[in-house]
Chains A and B, each alone.
Chain A
Amino acid sequence: MGRARRLIEAVLIWLGKWELATLPLPRILLATTSLTSDRLLRGFDHPVTPLVLARWFPNLSNPWFVLRCLYLGVVAVGGTPREILDRLRPYKVLIDGFGNEWVLEVARLARQRGIPVYAIWHGPYYQDVKKDVFASVDCVLSWGEGNEEWLEANDVRLSTTRVGNHIA
């Protein structure tokens, strides 16, 4: 599966370059786990271009899902966080992995470039821990009161919008 997946990712990135040339829409970088990307892309119907990291592209084993994504203008991207942000200049960035080094780098560099960073959970936190990533976040998308309680208890004072739980 490893080699086949890498081949599919390379094809998607190549197709993405063509798509980007024809889609002059604001770009939203989904620097999110495949679980979150899956939910968001299934419900996608907006005048923006979602950018999804090819190696985290969800449901690659489901050709109908992938074809639907391509049809709707979802673009698979590859490269380092710096390359992706400088080349594609997203309008906003969404992250959901608060401990992942790649995601931390995306958030930090996006913040430096003045690109708004939004954060959402992909799994609940029941431990009181300090997460450095919030220093690079502009807005938190909360599942509900539980997430908001955690933010307050852990001294994260950021603009918060309650959006509900996209996983459950």
Chain B
Amino acid sequence: MKILLLQYLQPRIDPLAVENTETFYFLGLMARLADHDIRLRLHPESRKREHYKGLWPGLKFDNESRPFRKALAWPDLVIGPAFSGAMLESLAAGKRTLMVLLAPHSCNLSYFRGAKVFTSLDAVEHAARTFTDPDCKEFLERYTARKEIPDPVGKIWAALVA
């Protein structure tokens, strides 16, 4: 299975976030899913490639400078932090997507209503291996209004030009 693993880069607005979670997530998932073809995609503003190479020799990277939309052509499964906008892109593209949210954090869980959020790495591994495909349609609709508004860019320009 081809897995695109997104960096667990925590938002600066989260006062409870601790830096170690990023490494815990990465090493935990690599150890659990090492028998699969995994590529790590770093956030475009993160300059941690050397850091990750040191953590996992032989690690394969996705090219973070190309658009995420293009990167989504490769994987069978996308795993990433639940709070990342990339999760919405992955879900919207119809990819199997596992959204991970590890404590501590200050996210209001009610905002994830209609989504399956994985709070332990064991649960992520189980879902990945059993081909669990969480139903996140309601969540996706609440953050994209795709059914209601098929052309968001046109709608934005219309608001700006008016």
Contacts and interface: CB of A to CB of B under 8 A. Distances in A.
Interface of A: 26, 28, 38-40, 42-48, 61, 92, 94, 99, 118, 120-129, 139, 141, 143-147, 149-150, 153, 161-168
Nearest to B138: A145
Contacts of B150: 164
Q: Main SS of the interface on chain A? A: loop
Contacts of B161: 26, 28, 46-48
A162 B106 CA distance: 26
B157 interface: yes
A40 B156 contact: yes
Which 9 pairs between the two chains have the least Cβ-Cβ distance? A164-B152, A164-B149, A43-B153, A144-B145, A165-B144, A123-B85, A168-B92, A168-B88, A163-B155
Interface in B99-124: 106-108, 111-112
A40 B85 contact: no
Given A123-B85, A129-B13, A143-B145, A164 B111 contact: no
Interface of B: 11-14, 65, 67, 82-85, 88-89, 91-92, 106-108, 111-112, 139-146, 148-157, 159-161
A127 B85 contact: no
B154 A43 contact: yes
Given A124-B88, A143-B143, A150-B111, A164 B159 contact: no
A120 B156 CA distance: 9
B144 A168 contact: yes
A18 B140 CA distance: 43
B157 A168 contact: no
Nearest to A59: B67
